[in-house]
Amino acid sequence: MTAIFELLFKYRPLLYERGTIAFDPYWPPYVTWILLAGALAGAWFIYRASAAALPWSWRYGLSSLRAAAFLVIILILLQPVLRIHSVLPQESFVAVAYDASKSMEIRDGPEGQSRLDVERHLLRSADNPWLDELGKKFKLRFFRFSHSAERVQAFEDTARHGQVTDLERTLDQISGELANVPAAGIVLITDGADNRSSDLDRTASRLRARNTPIYTVGIGSTSFLHDTEITGVTTARKVLRDTVMEAEVSVRSNGYAGRRARLLVLDRNRLLQNQEITLGSDGEVKVYRTHFSSQTGGPREFKFRVDPFQDEIIKENNDRTVLVEVDDAHPEILYVEGEPRWEYAFLRRAAVQDRNVRLVTLLRQADGKFLRQGIESPATLEKGFPTDRAELFKYKAILLGSVEASFFTFDQLRIISDFVSRRGGGFLMIGGRNSFGQGGYVNTPIQDMLPVNLGAGARDTQGFEDTEFKVRLTDYGYQHPITRISLAKDQNRKRWTDAPALVGFNRVAGPKPGATVLAMADSRAAGGADPVLLAFQRFGRGKSVAFTTASSWRWKMGNVHSDNFQELFWKQMLRWLVSDVPDPVGTGTEESYYAPDETAVIRAEVNDESFLPLNNAQVTAQVKSPSGRSTPLHFSWDVEKDGSYVAAFKPEEEGIYEITSEAFQGSRSLGRAKSNFLVAGSTKEFHNASMNSALLKRLASESGGRYYTPDNAGTIAEDISYIDKGSSSHLEEKELWDMPFLFLLLVGLISAEWILRKRRGLA
């Protein structure tokens, strides 16, 4: 299109965009008006003589064609020019920045060339004269960039390529270098695979305001014909040892629609999970759930991999590493049971086998008579269920057995609700004759929290059904960590199918809209629509679970003694309830791993005993490097978020770092927290690595520049020369009278008039 435009209008579109059209006739303006009037009158009178022979529409049409031809001639005589500012040679500076990040190693160029090869060819003046032409018009400054920009003399080959690409920082740095000189623009040669910038549009707008447009040259393919890529992994960053972990792995593929691949999870080189997946259609990102567990404590690097196909261009993006802290903590759970019953005994037996979770129980044996178990000191729960938040919030989860709402004061019910919504704790209600609607929980804060509807009315709207039933998991129920008895999918399904029947459940009025149902009671045994058996929902910062039966002990008594189904169910349940439950002081990095060139941003969240955020704490940390060296850090308050503090740390070694943060109010310690992060040569550059032409085009247009490919980059020198206006520019006038378009227009008008006259039989 540009070539056709240039053919017709003599110059490229950019010159018309940047310039203005003017006229430079040899005579004064009144002569122009006389000529115009004369042309119109002349065209009219030529056909006035033929008025009788022609209908008025023909007369008007032919007159118009003749007038238009006269006007084109007058236009040519008026000496049209294109006035455009162009820079004075060697008065301005142009920055030429080329990408030296790892993604430039990708071999997606013609004949298997790497992007770096294409870049080298572009910047070697022997192969491409545009750089020489640019050098004649401007003073050039060269930069090499990846995570930041570095001034160089010319294109330099280097074996060490950057681990990340930060265009925002690069442009800011270059802009800073050109701040004190007249700058005509920045030539940015890159694949646009930015994985660090947060607000490029603002950078581009700033450069536009300074009359420093960006001319982007996109290197590489915009999509890969054959590639699978793990675009992201979502998993908990902290779990208890030996917990079944769930990860959501997002995979994008091109060229392998419907084909099967293997998704692997590795702990160093130990295979934890190997599952078959079916890839989506080209460009589609599919999310796969996978489960695994680690029995080794401490910070663990879990690698997720999709086995690459032979013909993939990039194999490095088939891996993603996530750092997870496998904790050996001992979170406490408070279980209040309203009556001695088998569910209580068997649940406790399962919990006691878990060396990490500590179950503290308060069992009502008779009116006013309680048995406390799992307590650390005689004073624990001495006065019964806690009445203040500080005491209750020490726990990470609360279980309520068959205990009626009237057992608690309204304040205690409110505190339980705050425990979940504000503190972020886990909550479980277990079925029984004093649970759910039968327990009088309608119109209480607990009702709001539960993932199931209790119906209307103050007491027992739905009833307790004493029938035998089999458990039927929902589709998601087969995948959730609570119900993941076996890591192998088929085996998990079989174990649930073979599990003994249960007896008795609280019938509720269905799940709430935001709740997730994991299991139902088989309706053939229970009658009516499938009753909800196990469901959960997020409530504020925490989570709430409903388990409407109290007969899971039958999974133990009804199975051979070596079968650990019941124990595993409760182990997963309790661990899931305490997972992600925050401590009063928390710390961590924004990313779980960083490349060696990057700065780690460390955050601390500080709350008081009631989990209200504190903004006036003093927060410090020690960061221990892999080699054992400790560096102190001081945090500053993040004004945008209550209770949040931030610090930056520049790592110098690769490996796992440990952060120990502590918050103080005066001399009183509010608590400590530990976290880890990984510094390693990353594969970030190979993820989302297709040439991002959309980003580069936007960057160019926002800054007033243009976007090029290597094929048309030769016009950069000329394009940069023409600017809107500047102190280092002069005004050029380019003649337009000899535009081929005007000649073609004139010939066209005359020919059209001649053809029409012949048709009417005129001479």
Partner 1 sequence: MRMVYTGLGPSGYYKAWYTDWPKSDRQFILGVRRLTNIRVASEPRTIAPTDPEMFDYPFIYSVECGHWNLTEQEVTALREYLNRGGFLFCDDFWGSWEWTNFERQISRILPGSKIVELPMSHPIFHSYYNINRIVQIPNVGNAMYSDQTHEQDGFHPHCRGIFDERGRLIVIINWNTDLGDAWEWADLPGFPARFSTYAYQIGINAIVYAMSH
22 binds partner 1 (CB under 8 A): no
- Judged by CB under 8 A, which stretch of 134-142, 342-350, 454-462, 535-543 contacts partner 1? 342-350
Nearest distance from residue 298's CB to partner 1, in Å? 28
Pairing label, strands 214-218, 707-708: parallel
User: Mask of contacts with partner 1, 516-555, x by CB under 8 A?
Assistant: -------------------------------------xx-
Cβ proximity to partner 1: between 141 and 364 the closer is: 364
Q: How far is the CB of 403 from partner 1 (least distance, A)?
A: 11
Site for partner 1 contains 601 (CB under 8 A) = no
Q: How far apart are CA 120 and CA 127, in angstroms?
A: 9
Q: Is 344 in the site for partner 1 (CB under 8 A)?
A: yes
Contact 169, 196 (CB under 8 A): yes
If one asks whether residue 342 binds partner 1 (CB under 8 A), the answer comes out as: yes
Among 526, 481, 530, 519, which Cα is nearest to 497's? 519
Per-residue binder mask for partner 1 (CB under 8 A), 624-663, x = binder: ----------------------------------------
Residue 340 found at the interface with partner 1 (CB under 8 A): yes
Q: Which two tokens stand for residue 163?
A: 């681990």
Is residue 130 within 8 Å of 139, Cβ to Cβ?
no
Please give the residues from 261 up to 320 whose contact with partner 1 meets the rule CB under 8 A. none
CB of 419 to partner 1, least distance (A): 25
**Span of 220-228, 257-265, 345-353, 478-486 interacting with partner 1 by CB under 8 A:** 345-353
Interatomic CA distance for residues 345 and 367, integer angstroms = 19
> Per the structure block, which two tokens stand in for 123?
């910047």
Tell me: does residue 372 bind partner 1 (CB under 8 A).
Answer: no
Structure tokens at 121: 């060819």
Stretch that binds partner 1, among 174-182, 254-262, 361-369, 650-658 (CB under 8 A): 361-369
Q: Say if residues 726 and 211 touch (Cβ distance below 8 Å).
A: yes
First-to-last alpha carbon distance for the chain, in angstroms, is 40
Which stretch in 23-31, 312-320, 340-348, 491-499 sits in contact with partner 1 by CB under 8 A?
Answer: 340-348
Q: Which is nearer to partner 1, 164 or 347 (CB)?
A: 347
In 3D space, the residue among 32, 26, 11, 18 whose CA is nearest the CA of residue 83 turns out to be 18
Could you tell me how many residues of this chain bind partner 1 (CB under 8 A)?
Answer: 29
Burial 30-53 (b: 16+ CB within 10 A, else e): eeeeebeeebbeebeeebeeeeee
Q: Which span (365-373, 659-667, 672-680, 728-736) binds partner 1, by CB under 8 A?
A: 365-373
Nearest 5°: phi and psi at 17? Answer: -65, -40
Q: Does 159 bind partner 1 (CB under 8 A)?
A: no
Smallest gap from Cβ 362 to partner 1, in A, equals 11
Burial of 477 (0-12, 13-18, 19+ CB in 10 A): buried
Q: Among residues 90, 234, 353, 709, which is the contact residue for partner 1, using CB under 8 A?
A: 353
Comparison of 199 and 466: residue with beta carbon closer to partner 1: 466
When asked if residue 352 is in the footprint of partner 1 (CB under 8 A), the reply is: yes
The one-letter code for the residue type at 190 is T
Nearer to partner 1, 368 or 666 (CB): 368
Q: Hey, what's the torsion of the CAs at 219, 225, 228, 234, to 10 degrees? A: 60
Helix axes 56-77, 29-48, angle to 10 degrees: 150
Asked whether position 346 contacts partner 1 by CB under 8 A, the answer is yes
Residue closer to partner 1 by CB (options 334, 595) is: 334
In angstroms, what CA-CA distances link 68 with 39, 480, 615? 9, 78, 77
> In the bound complex, what is the minimum distance in angstroms from residue 342's beta carbon to partner 1?
6
Would you count residue 603 as binding partner 1 (CB under 8 A)?
Answer: no
Say if strands 532-539 and 20-23 run parallel, antiparallel, or are unpaired: unpaired
Q: Do 101 and 684 form a contact (C-beta atoms < 8 A)?
A: no
CB of 341 to partner 1, least distance (A): 6
| Contact indicator for 63, 43 with CB cutoff of 8 Å | yes
Return the range that interacts with partner 1 (CB under 8 A); candidates 337-345, 387-395, 423-431, 595-603.
337-345
Minimal distance in Å, beta carbon 367 to partner 1? 7
Residue selected from 240, 333, 363, 663 as contacting partner 1 according to rule CB under 8 A: 363
Q: Name the strands in the sheet holding 139-145, side by side, starting at the edge strand that comes first in the sequence.
A: 149-152, 139-145, 93-99, 183-190, 214-218, 707-708
The residue among 422 and 554 lying less far from partner 1, judged by its C-beta, is: 554
Question: Least Å distance between CB 499 and partner 1?
Answer: 14
Handedness of CA 371, 374, 377, 382 (dihedral sign): negative
- The nearest distance, CB 439 to partner 1, in angstroms, is 14
Among 141, 169, 364, 571, binds partner 1 (CB under 8 A): 364
The one-character DSSP state at 370 is E
* Residue selected from 4, 49, 159, 366 as contacting partner 1 according to rule CB under 8 A: 366
Q: Considering the rule CB under 8 A, would residue 349 count as an interface residue with partner 1?
A: yes
H/E stretch holding 2 reads helix 2-9
Helix (H) or strand (E) holding 145: strand 139-145
**Residues 548 to 567: which contact partner 1 by CB under 8 A?**
553-554, 556-561
- Residue 263's Cβ-count burial label (10 Å; 0-12, 13-18, 19+) is buried
Taking the CA atoms of the chain, what radius of gyration do you get in angstroms? Answer: 38
Determine, following the binding rule CB under 8 A, whether residue 571 of this chain makes contact with partner 1: no
Contact set with partner 1 (CB under 8 A): 338-342, 344-346, 348-349, 352-353, 363-367, 369, 371, 373, 433, 553-554, 556-561
